[in-house]
Every structure is written in C-alpha cells, then in structure tokens.
Amino acid sequence: MRRFSTYLLFVYVFASLLMLSCRAKKEVSKSHPTEIPTLQSLHIEKDLKKTLNQWLGAPYKYGGNSKKGVDCSGFVCAVYLEVYNTKLPRTSKDMYIFSEHIKLKDLREGDLIFFNYTGKGVSHVGIYLENNKFIHASTTKGVIVGDLNNEFTRKKIVGAGRVKKK
C-alpha cells in the first residue's frame, strides 16, 4: 500500500510540473535581433505596420495582453482594438467562431489564421500580412513574423477568418 501511495505522489508531482512548464513565462532574447524580422519589406497598411513594429519581440506570457508579456489571442485582440477599433473575443477558439470563415487562398491583410497545436481544435491565432507571412505570439520567441510556407506550420492550420473592421 505504501509503495502505491509513493507511486501516486510521484505521478501527481510529475504531472503538475509538466503542466506548469507549459504555462511558464518565456522570454525573447533581445540580443539576437536576427530572430525578430522587421516588417519593412512588407507592403502593408501604414497604421498596421507601425503598431506591429511596436509589438515585435514582446515576450510570450500565457494570459498576457501587454507588450511586457502577451499570448497569441491577447496580441490579436490588442492589435485589432488599436488598428481597427474592433473588439474581438479573448480566446482563439472564440475568435474562430466569431469570424467569417474564408479559404486560405482568399487571405488578405488583417485576416486571422487559426492553428491547432494541442490536438484539441483551435489553440493558436495569428494575423495575416502578405505573401504567406503572418504575425503571432510564439510561446518560445514572443511576437514574431512567421511563414505559412513552413511545413510544420502549414500542417497545423485549422482555417482562416475575416472580421468586419469598424
């Protein structure tokens, strides 16, 4: 009986540590500017580009919604509110439900791209820019520009959505 109790305690501690590690604050190294591509070469709307440049490199923080720490949906919410004066639902799943679903071939600047990284449906969101580039809050690198042509990224796409902007 004692051996079984010890085993259960070990399993509980291990599972707790594993779950906590998924939500740990991950910092972006400011000393490696090559990890944070600029938006200068992209031809996107001036106000959007200005706002996104202010967010580039912001560290990831689960549940965060400021430039001191932000998660993917907090980032998208903040950008939409500032640039488009549009309030979005707080979670990526709710954004997916809220948006008008579109085909990937119809993506335009400012559209949302949804991903499944957990195996449980929509778990991540980013903002489409142009030429298969999108911006999002990565759990390991913070706010970065990603490429939809990346094989791993493309496999995780659930769909795309468009939100009416005010």
DSSP 45-76: -HHHHHHHHHHTTPPB-TT-EETTEE-HHHHH
Residues 94-98: contacts with CB under 8 Å, at least 24 apart: 95/122, 95/125, 95/161, 95/163, 96/122, 96/125, 96/158, 96/159, 96/161, 98/161, 98/163
* Domain residue spans of the chain: 25-162
Residue 67 burial (10 A CB sphere; 0-12, 13-18, 19+):
middle
* Residue 160: Cβ within 10 Å count: 23
What's the CATH architecture for 25-162? Answer: Alpha-Beta Complex (3.90)
State the catalytic residues. 72, 124, 136
Confidence band (pLDDT; 50, 70, 90) for 22?
Answer: very low
| pTM, 2 dp | 0.78
Q: What is the pLDDT of residues 28-79, one digit of tens each?
A: 334 333 344 568 888 999 999 999 999 999 999 999 999 999 999 999 999 9
Only one residue has tokens 């085909």, namely 103
Average pLDDT, whole number, for the chain? Answer: 84
* Least trusted range by pLDDT, from 23-32, 127-136, 140-149: 23-32
